[in-house]
Structure 1
Amino acid sequence: MKVLVIDDEHLVRETVVHLLETFGISDIIEADDGHAGLQLVQEQRPDLAIVDVRMPGLGGIELLERLKRLNIQLPYVMLSGYDLFSYAQTALNLGATAYLLKPVNPDELYAVIQKVRLDRQLQDIRSETAMRTNIQLKQSMEIMRRRFIGELAATTPLAEGYVAGRLKELEIGFAHRQFAIVRIELDPVSGPASGLPSNDQALIQYGAENIACEILQQADVGVWPGDAEQGFFLLANIPLSVQYPRDLMSLCTEVKESIRRYLRQHATIGIGSLACTLSELPSSYEAAGKALLQRLVKGTGSVIVYERPVASPDQFKGIGFQVEQDMLLEFERGDQAAAMAIVRRMYEPFIALDFIDRASLLKLNFQLIVLLFKILERFDAEPAPLLGEELSLYEEVNQCTSIEAMLDWFAGKLALAFDALLSNRETGARKLIEKARGYIHNRYMEDLSLETVAAHVYVTPAYFSSIFKKETGKNFVDYVSHYRIDKAKQLLGSGNYKVNAVAAMTGFHNMKYFYKVFKKQTGLTPNQYKEL
């Protein structure tokens, strides 16, 4: 607490200063006349002034009148050697806190000091409360504005009456007749910056928003910020002096460069279509989102104006049966490079046309993940422990910021899949052949073909033929023939069946062929074998 003592009598000042020090006050300044006191009040801004009523030149009453005209408000204690009601009344009317007689009574002065301290504390509390209330009101107003701007931009057109009412309530005004949504997203970073706490990330985004608002406002563009799914957006109210999209794109390029320079962050900015009414803002917001998506082919750190694609959405097709078969064949061959070439071919329409249709891209990403899972399961591998859950993978690949990043992501997953299949290929092949043998042994009497058995174990005929011979030492036809002849020998040896019946029971529907195969394997005809 700082106290100014103004009195022309040195002894009085000395006494008052001593009393103040006994009250625990150390910040004390003195003046020996009214003029010096006035100057000190203006320079030092004390918390309390103790002033003598009668002094040469400028007395206490006149000093209070001067301070009142200067609109300087602080507590005053008037000292006087005269117990005159008129002095006291005048001093109190001018706002004095107390009127004390000389010699100063310590208890009276202490009571006044305590009152001033209490009043000051209450004033500080009231000021702080008012300041907090004001801040909260401003913050609440800003939050409500952002929400309403979000309503204008991201929903279907609102009722005109509702819009007009909310614009008035929230003190939002538009000076120009052209609008566009500008969406800004900070690009993901790697390294130490990628692990920034959420508070720091919020501060960086706040800084980016302030930079964008300042640059656009300097060009007389009205700016109203709102929150997007990622990042933020600006409702830009564009004057005729700013040409759309050329000048707006230049301003956004300046925003992007300033964010990089001052925040050391890379930003991608999507500019939506031009809107001439508020009801067209949802379309502009959607267009800005589509523009942002084009960074997958144009690269991050770009400023992109939405343009309607020349290509028809029909040109983007999902995975068909033939692609599945081609991919399965490359897995069977163990050709990782060829499998990756198939994946790359699926993304070529997006790269070639320089346009991203979000729905088509998401569909393609999902179908490729499902196909990878399906193929791994066909080879008796468990895809989830190896690669992760389907939904997590889908969310992960969709976070990639370019088509090349998506291709790199799939290349990594294919490498994991091929490595896993290579390590357990022999085990898997044995299981597959055992399953095929079981099928043959149970159905040898039926018409069996390589294609039928391959389909049963979910592999292509070519792959099945290759691993079947490797595991059994025989090709498929020879193996089936030997097994059937072994069964025919058992039946003939029992003596219960005629030769033609045995042929039919073992899958031979041509007697001549049965005789030929039987003699080739045993050196005897079926009749000769039966008579042994």
Structure 2
Amino acid sequence: MKNKILLTTDDRNVRDLFLQIIQDHQFDFSIEEGNRQNVLKEGWLPSNETKVLLVDLDNMTTLAQNIVLQQFNNKKFTMPIVMIKSRYANQEMRRMFKNGVFDCLTKPLDKEVVYRLLQELRIEILQSEQLMQQRSEDPNNIMKSLRVSLIYNLLYGNIKNSREIWNQSQLIGLSTVPNMAMSIQIDEFLWKNKEKNKQWQDVVRNEIITATRQFFIHKLNECLAMGTGVNQFAILLSLPFQEQKAGYKELAVKLADDAKNYISEQTGYSVTIGIGNYYEDVRNLHYSYQEAQYALKYKFFKGNDLVIHVDNIERFTNEHVLLPNQEVSALANKLMVNDQKAVYENLKNLFAKISSSQNVDPEVFILQISEIAAMLARAAINGGANQKEIHMILREYTSLIPFIENLSQLEQWMRDLIHRFLDFITNHHNDHTLKSIQKAMEYIEGHFLEAITLEKVASHVHLSPTYFSRIFKNATGSNFVEYITYLRIEKAKELLQDLNYTVYQIALEVGYSNSHYFSRVFKTIVGKSPSDYRNSILVPSDLTNEKFLN
């Protein structure tokens, strides 16, 4: 029997499009046309056979629309409700989602949007039916609780007694104990569903988990699965005996690759899978899970729709200062003076260096990106933008950081943030001051290794030294001498990486005739002497023998 959709609309184009897509793609739905006036009646409920309610709000008065929303807010409707409208007022769509509406469509309807909606509705109905069946078969949810408890304890190493693990495994119906873990992340799930409520996110994630369990149970007869985050879940498997240790890795990678393709076919979502090693002793299974999570981090650099085994990756370094200060400072300075072409060129260079650093923990990158965003916000304010507006933009974009999953998303996030900052700088900055600072910065960058003076730069931009000094400090946040010193020290740090240069030669190269004075200035700013700094960046860190336990 087909699932019935009750469609309340006077728009024949809407009805015909739904009928066409249901027929073309053989969806298990039927359309029944309803009277929109019924929706306005207090206490009205659709028939028990109705699985989905679609309401066209066009040509309804504001009062009538409010009555409809009030009806749905009474929580009497258990089926998904979809609103259709030509145009939504400000915050109207958000208010509908808060009232429990499943989705909001905008006219004219797009075929792809309707197709995707019908897929999502199919998933929602299936999950609802499975939940009802589960409740009827196991009203107290006892077995589910035992299963979740065992998975949790295995993932985090909470049980140290092998017999206890075996007894609990038998209790939930397993014939063998797991020996390998996978960590699976649904690609771009948070970003695609950030406007959806948590209930919807849980339904989609559980549908993907169900498809994954079905695949592995078909292949291996048994599988344990549990959600570990909004967009992640863990899989515990018992791989059959292999003659060689390498056979376990080969089998796991093959299974994961096939599972990834199966999930995509069944749900329309791509996933990335991290795989840990095989452990014969089930008490060590949490190590396999830690390794799987560790491997999964590499999707930040490698992208989506991948299978990553822990043995195929390099360890992350323990360095904390990862992003090149010179590029970041140059980016902030160009932003401050609204040199848009240079800003985007510097941004491109910055991410080129980031993408070449694939042995760096992505979590450290994200933390430093937050610091860079704050630095750019200060540069925008120093460039003349309104402080309150810049802080609002910074809060808005900072709230999006948890949704960033890979390097390309991070670059787009940064590009959008900078574009917003540049708009405000352009609108608020004095044009004459802007051009003077731009010209001065260009001159300084070309001559800071020489015997440059404030008077010489002021003369170059046709301003008095006193006035130029004031606007330079307001624009950069540093006085002239501090800024020149900063540029020279950054250049010195770069030269110290080349062992062909002595400290004395580097001092001369960056504009200091006295190497002892250069060393004092360097230590004051960096906190280390030039020789100590060189040793700290050229001597490799000791590598620990621990295997991914932290």
- The residue aligned with 2:217 is 217
Matched, 1:205 2:205: yes
Contact 2:227 2:234 in 1 (8 A): yes
CA apart distance, 1:221: 6.0
2:304 counterpart SS class: coil
Q: TM-score, normalised by structure 1?
A: 0.51
Name the amino acid aligned to 1:147: S
Q: Which moved more, 1:308-317 or 1:210-219?
A: 308-317
Q: Which residue of 2 aligns with 1:136?
A: 139
Conserved in 2, the CA contact under 8 Å of 1:185 and 1:268? yes
Give runs of aligned pairs for residues 203-352 of structure 1, distance below 5 A: 203-220=203-220, 222-229=222-229, 230-241=231-242, 243-307=247-311, 309-310=313-314, 313-314=317-318, 317-319=321-323, 322-352=326-356
Once the two structures are TM-superposed, the CA of residue 157 in structure 1 deviates from its matched residue by: 4.8
* DSSP-derived class of the 2:308 partner: strand
Whether the 8 Å contact between 1:293 and 1:356 is mirrored in structure 2 is: no
Aligned CA distance change for structure 1 residues 400 and 311 (closer, same or farther; 3 Å): same
Show the 5 A alignment for 1:78-157: 134-137=137-140, 139-153=141-155, 155-157=156-158
* CA–CA separation in structure 2 for the residues paired with 1:423 and 1:310: 47
Counterpart of 2:151 in structure 1: which amino acid? I
The answer to whether structure 1 residue 454 and structure 2 residue 475 are counterparts is no
Aligned to 1:70: none
CA drift at 1:424: 1.0
Does the CA contact (< 8 Å) of 2:222 and 2:237 recur in 1?
yes
Amino acid of the structure 2 residue aligned with 1:403: L
Distance (Å, rounded) in 2 between the aligned partners of 1:324 and 1:263: 41
Shift of 1:261: 1.6
Q: Which residue of 2 aligns with 1:417?
A: 421
**How many angstroms does 1:186 deviate by?**
4.9
- Shift in Å at residue 207 of structure 1? 2.9
Partners of 1:410 and 1:247 in 2: how far apart?
40
In structure 2, distance between residues paired with 1:420 and 1:300 = 35
The size of the alignment, in residue pairs, is 319
Q: Structure 1 residues 134 and 216 mapped into 2: Cα distance closer, same or farther (>3 Å)?
A: closer
Q: Once the 2 structures are TM-superposed, how far is the Cα of residue 190 of structure 1 from its aligned partner?
A: 7.7
* Residue identity opposite 1:454 in structure 2: F
How much has 1:406 moved relative to structure 2?
1.0
Unaligned runs of 5+ in 2: 1-132, 438-464, 484-550
Q: 1:417 to 1:277 in 2, by over 3 A?
A: same
Alpha-carbon deviation of 1:343?
3.6
TM-score normalized with structure 2 length: 0.49
Structure (1/2) with the larger helix percentage: 1
Residues 243 and 272 (structure 1), Cα distance of their counterparts in 2 relative to 1, 3 Å cut = same
Paired with 2:374 and 2:183, the residues of 1 have a C-alpha distance of: 36
Q: Which residue of 1 aligns with 2:176?
A: 175
Tell me how far 1:320 sits from its aligned partner: 6.3
Q: How far apart, in 2, do the equivalents of 1:176 and 1:379 lie?
A: 62
Identify the residue that residue 4 of structure 1 maps to in structure 2.
none
Tell me if the contact between 1:208 and 1:263 (Cα under 8 Å) persists in the aligned partners: yes
**Cα offset for 1:351?**
2.2
8 Å contact 2:191–2:404 — kept in the other structure? no
Instruction: Give the AA of the match of 1:256.
Output: K
Q: Is 1:403–2:440 an aligned residue pair?
A: no
Measured in 1, the distance between the counterparts of 2:379 and 2:238 equals: 53
C-alpha distance in 2 between matches for 1:337 and 1:453: 23
Deviation at 1:403, TM superposition (A): 0.7
Q: Is the 8 A contact 1:177 1:237 kept in 2?
A: yes
How much does 1:286 deviate? 2.5
C-alpha distance in 2, partners of 1:165/1:314?
38
- Residue 301 of structure 1 aligns with an amino acid whose one-letter code is D
1:251, distance to aligned residue in structure 2 (A): 1.8
Runs of 5+ in structure 1 lacking a partner? Answer: 1-129, 434-446, 466-532
**What is the rounded CA distance, in whole Å, between the counterparts of 1:420 and 1:426 in structure 2?**
12
- How many angstroms apart in 2 are the aligned matches of 1:275 and 1:380? 60
- Deviation (angstroms), 1:400: 2.3
State the distance in 1 between where 2:254 and 2:482 align.
Answer: 61
Q: Which residue matches 1:159?
A: 160
> d(CA) in 2 for partners of 1:311 and 1:320?
21
Give the conservation status (yes or no) of the 8 Å contact 1:379–1:428: no
Aligned to 1:313, the other structure's residue is in SS state coil
Superimposed CA distance per residue, residues 285-328 of structure 1 (whole angstroms, 9 cap, x where no aligned partner): 23222333322222222222234644651566345654453223
Per the alignment, do residues 370 and 307 of structure 1 end up closer, same or farther by CA in structure 2, a change over 3 Å counting? Answer: farther
Q: What is the DSSP-based 3-state SS (H/G/I as helix, E as strand, rest coil) of the residue aligned with 1:136?
A: coil
Deviation, structure 1 residue 452: 7.8
| Shift in alpha-carbon separation, 1:324–1:266, aligned structure 2, 3 A | closer
Rg comparison, structure with higher value: 1
Counterpart code for 2:237: A
Comparing 340-349 with 258-267, which one deviates more in the overlay? 340-349
Say if 1:322 and 1:175 are closer, same or farther in 2 by CA, change over 3 A.
same
CA distance in 2, matches of 1:160, 1:208: 32
Cα distance per residue 1:22-47 (max 9 Å; x no partner): xxxxxxxxxxxxxxxxxxxxxxxxxx
